[in-house]
Amino acid sequence: MAFITAKKHQQVARFNTTLLASAFALALPATAAADQQNAATQNNTQLDAVVITADAVEAKYKAEKVSSTKQTQPLVNTPQTLVVVKKELFQQQAATTLSDTLRNTPGITMLMGENGNTATGDSIFMRGFDTQGSIFVDSIRDLGTISRDTFNTEQVEIAKGPAGADNGRGSSSGYINLSSKQATQDEFTTGNLTLGSGSHKRATVDLNRQLSDTSAIRVNLLKQDSGVVDRDEVEDNKTGIATSLALGLGTATRAYLNLFHIDQKNLPDGGLTTVGLAGYYNAAFDADRSTAFPNGGPNAGKTLVPVDTSNFYGSTNDFDDVKATMVTAKIEHDLSDKTTLRNTSRFGQSTQDYLLTGVNAITTTTGTGAAAVAIADPANWTVSRSRQGKDQQNQILTNQTQLNTSVALAGLTHDISSGIEFIYESQRNNTLGLPAGTAQVAANLYNPSTADVFVNPVHTGASTDGSTLTSGIYLLDTIHLSDQWQLNASARLDHYKTETDTVTIQGTSTPQTIPVGTKLGSAVEASDNLASFKLGALYKPATNGSVYLSYATSQLPPGGANFTLSTTANNINNPNLDPQKGTNLELGTKWDLLNEKLAVTAAVFKSNNENEIATDPDGTALQVGERQVRGLELGLVGAITSAWQISAGAAYMDSEITRGNQSGRIVTDGGTIQWTPELTFTLWNTYELPLGLTLGGGVRYVDTVVRSSSTTLNLAKTAVVEMPDYWVVDAMASYPVTPYVDVQLNVYNLLDEEYIAKLNNGGSRYFAGTPRSFRLGVNVQF
């Protein structure tokens, strides 16, 4: 494991330009050719006539279909809530990560994470359910708790509600798919250089070249050297390369070879203590959870204030090193003009090695027990810290064969997608720990020091190896009953086998029958079949609109989220338990308006997740738990005029633990689902003024988010219990300096709103929302 040295506050940042200089050099021939063409155009005395029609309106944000060939119909004729965020949208926002991109769809909450996952990975809750294990790249599951960059992403696709017929095992939330950039027959080079607040420096290149009339290569490069706005010491650095080689373009047989690699070397963020925030509780305060001290105490008359949001409580020797590599080969052959056979193979691997220091309990006294004495001044209070490490490797090997065809049977047209898949996924976690009795040095609450010396966790010899082998078969059929009526029927059957091998280290016991330090191995396995289906009926009152009713299911077996089985009776990953089952009933309508340049959608839905663990009144743990989310989602995306582009969405979610714990310390029966705000809203739009100046902006709203579903939690004896609602306003402006170069300014949190962006499960740690900040970019296109 290598340590990273902080670079944020250096006057001259070390920025590796070799990679980018080489890439820009490749663009020089294209630049020269473009200049020659421009000069030739200027010499012409006769200009071609330009005819303006309604089709001249370009809907830059609106997608017609998702990238997956399993979905045979355009979005307007697909009976499911599907949101597509195109690169044209997130590039205008200067959004560079999956988490940033997902701000363009409502009903999603980002989590802080636990057990050392505080600042790493895309921890996502969607429609009331965890979605972290349902993230895909080009319709193949992407493993690992890593933060995904979008430098090689064409569009992000969000399917909401259970969708087991699409991908097999999964949660009731739905899934997220990142569609990668592919080589095309076009010739272009684009580049971006961005500087911004928080010592942000980022450059990307996207280059596509024809190798022949039927072959092409595309290369995407990334280099980022960045701090984090208003966070001392934290770093976000990454280097990436992605290539796509295409052969046989424009012919009946096509082959693609895609390579992807990214290397992230970050100094992670352990977050802030919630002390002093509204709702924070400590025994030194009044029971009404205010931040004023009780009368008569040593702090009478004083007010506890939150810590500075720039405070860093970790070590400059903390690190988060991630390497992710994917190799994908795909062959397509058109058997006829209506039938295509595809085969896709992928090997993917990611490793994560990190060391993170986080904040824990606040110390307000000296001494213990009867000898405890209150510390009079909060400026002398301390906060304890923990150090957690992770050493994880993920692998996936898959082969998928798919047949798409359109046939006439019994006088009806069937658009069919069918296939078989073989998937091997594995994850290894090597356990790190501290010597028994080790205590890390505490930090001053308001003035932490980076000079503190910590004890590093070491490999204990314990480990967990988990793997799942899956074979699946599926059939998706769209039946056209008439010009107005359409039926959708999808089914998938998977057979899986999950194995978990665990090595533990014998500790002290009485009597000591096994020597301390002895390695003890255990193995658990489970295998079963999973069947999922999706049914939909769709009516088209006009060619540009539809009304639909759909019902879909999904299943998540024990160990399905992290390949880890457990022998504990009341653990949801016990192999003797049934899979969790998700269902979604949805009634919706979709319309392509304004000459089909503006998509308007609306859907009401009810999603359920069954077979969760819950305790009955006598305390017995049974697999009878159930969660339910009922709601409404609205969407608007496309072009209102040739100058006005818009993307907007709103979601209302009424969530409930319909059957939860009915006994014990925390009763959840009838409670609200944690991390599920009732109302969320997102809007982004731009307007192009004369002379090419484009102005844009957006607003996001997130309602109050509770961290616990408990109906009996004693609020006077717990930490912060909710994230208050907030509004955030962003703005942008861009201007074409030349036909090939434009400048773009993005301003985030224009009104400098203070809010909690992420909160941990215990309510004691949080990430503050990014304050007002900016990014200034130069975009080049040839």
φ, ψ of residue 447 to 5 degrees: the values are -140, 70
AA letter at 780: V
Nearest CA-CA partner of 642 in 587, 586, 687: 687
Least confident of 75-89, 176-190, 233-247, 378-392: 378-392
Query: How far does CA 683 lie from the centroid of its chain?
Result: 19
Nearest CA-CA partner of 505 in 426, 433, 429: 433
**726 three-state secondary structure:** strand
- Does the pLDDT value for residue 619 go beyond 90? no
Residue 118 is predicted with a pLDDT of 54
| Residue 28, C-beta contacts closer than 8 angstroms, at least 6 positions apart | none
- Does the pLDDT value for residue 253 go beyond 50? yes
Greatest Cα pair distance, the chain, in angstroms, is 100
Q: How far apart are CA 732 and CA 748, in angstroms?
A: 9
Residue 22 is predicted with a pLDDT of 40
Residue 75's region, left for phi above 0, alpha for psi from -120 to 50, else beta, is: alpha
> Around Cβ 624, how many Cβ atoms within 10 Å?
15
Residue 356 is predicted with a pLDDT of 94
Predicted confidence band of residue 285 (pLDDT cuts 50, 70, 90): low
Predicted confidence band of residue 301 (pLDDT cuts 50, 70, 90): low
Query: Is the model more confident about 376 or about 403?
Result: 403
Nearest CA-CA partner of 577 in 609, 613, 608: 613
Task: Give mean pLDDT, residues 725-740.
Answer: 97
Using a 10 angstrom Cβ sphere, with 0-12 exposed, 13-18 middle and 19 or more buried, the burial of residue 515 is: exposed
Q: How far apart are CA 106 and CA 603, in angstroms?
A: 13
Predicted confidence band of residue 337 (pLDDT cuts 50, 70, 90): very high
Q: How far apart are CA 445 and CA 377, in angstroms?
A: 11
Nearest CA-CA partner of 324 in 350, 342, 357, 345: 350
Residue 144 is predicted with a pLDDT of 79
Q: Tell me what percent of the residues of the chain surpass a pLDDT of 90.
A: 74
φ, ψ of residue 742 to 5 degrees: the values are -135, 155
Nearest CA-CA partner of 185 in 221, 150, 215, 151: 215
Quote the DSSP letter at residue 619. Answer: S
**54 three-state secondary structure:** helix
Predicted confidence band of residue 714 (pLDDT cuts 50, 70, 90): low
Q: How far apart are CA 606 and CA 658, in angstroms?
A: 13
The C-alpha torsion from 180 through 185 and 188 to 193, rounded to 10°, is 10
Residue 304 is predicted with a pLDDT of 79
Tokens of 725: 């609602």
Quote the DSSP letter at residue 600. Answer: E
3-state helix, strand and coil shares in percent for the chain, rounded to the nearest 5 = 10, 50, 40
How many CA atoms are closer than 13 Å to the CA of 208, on its beta-carbon side?
A: 16
- Does the pLDDT value for residue 642 go beyond 60? yes
- For residues 462-480, b (16+ Cβ closer than 10 Å) or e, as one string? bbbbbbbbbebebbbbbbb
Q: State how beta strands 726-736 and 741-748 pair.
A: antiparallel
- Does the pLDDT value for residue 42 go beyond 70? no
AA letter at 187: E
Q: How far apart are CA 645 and CA 662, in angstroms?
A: 50
Predicted confidence band of residue 325 (pLDDT cuts 50, 70, 90): very high
- Does the pLDDT value for residue 633 go beyond 50? yes
Tokens of 679: 């109302």
How many CA atoms are closer than 13 Å to the CA of 345, on its beta-carbon side?
A: 4
Domain boundaries, given as residue ranges, for the chain:
18-43+74-781
Query: Is the model more confident about 510 or about 488?
Result: 488
φ, ψ of residue 476 to 5 degrees: the values are -120, 125
Predicted confidence band of residue 372 (pLDDT cuts 50, 70, 90): confident
Q: How far apart are CA 180 and CA 520, in angstroms?
A: 43
Predicted confidence band of residue 694 (pLDDT cuts 50, 70, 90): very high
Q: Are the C-beta atoms of residues 281 and 290 closer than 8 Å to each other?
A: no
Task: Give mean pLDDT, residues 8-26.
Answer: 39
Task: Give mean pLDDT, residues 731-751.
Answer: 98
**72 three-state secondary structure:** coil
Tokens of 316: 């400059």
Class of domain 18-43+74-781: mainly beta
Tokens of 264: 């992230």
- Does the pLDDT value for residue 295 go beyond 60? no
Predicted confidence band of residue 711 (pLDDT cuts 50, 70, 90): confident
Predicted confidence band of residue 87 (pLDDT cuts 50, 70, 90): very high
**DSSP letter string over 721-775?**
-EE--EEEEEEEEEEESSSSEEEEEEEESTT----EEEE-TTSSEEEEPP-SEEE
Q: How far apart are CA 439 and CA 365, in angstroms?
A: 17
How many CA atoms are closer than 13 Å to the CA of 30, on its beta-carbon side?
A: 20
Judge if pTM exceeds 0.85.
yes
**31 three-state secondary structure:** helix
Query: Is the model more confident about 169 or about 34?
Result: 169
Beta bridge partners of 405: 339, 416
Task: Give per-residue pLDDT as tens, 97-114.
Answer: 999 999 999 999 988 865
Q: How far apart are CA 188 and CA 27, in angstroms?
A: 9
Q: How far apart are CA 775 and CA 216, in angstroms?
A: 33
Q: Are the C-beta atoms of residues 304 and 376 closer than 8 Å to each other?
A: no
- Does the pLDDT value for residue 292 go beyond 60? no
- Does the pLDDT value for residue 386 go beyond 80? yes
Residue 248 is predicted with a pLDDT of 98
What is each CA distance from 25 to 31, 151, 191, 205, 207, in whole angstroms?
10, 19, 12, 11, 11
| Residue 583, C-beta contacts closer than 8 angstroms, at least 6 positions apart | 162, 172, 551, 552, 553, 607, 608, 610
Angle at 424 between CA 422 and CA 430, to 5 degrees: 170
Q: How far apart are CA 629 and CA 605, in angstroms?
A: 8
Tokens of 46: 């006769």
Nearest CA-CA partner of 125 in 643, 672, 752, 686: 672
Q: How far apart are CA 323 and CA 146, in angstroms?
A: 9
Residue 311 is predicted with a pLDDT of 97
Sign of the Cα torsion 293, 295, 297, 300 reads positive
**22 three-state secondary structure:** helix
**DSSP letter string over 437-452?**
T--PPPEESSS--TT-
Sign of the Cα torsion 283, 287, 290, 293 reads negative
Task: Give mean pLDDT, residues 493-520.
Answer: 91
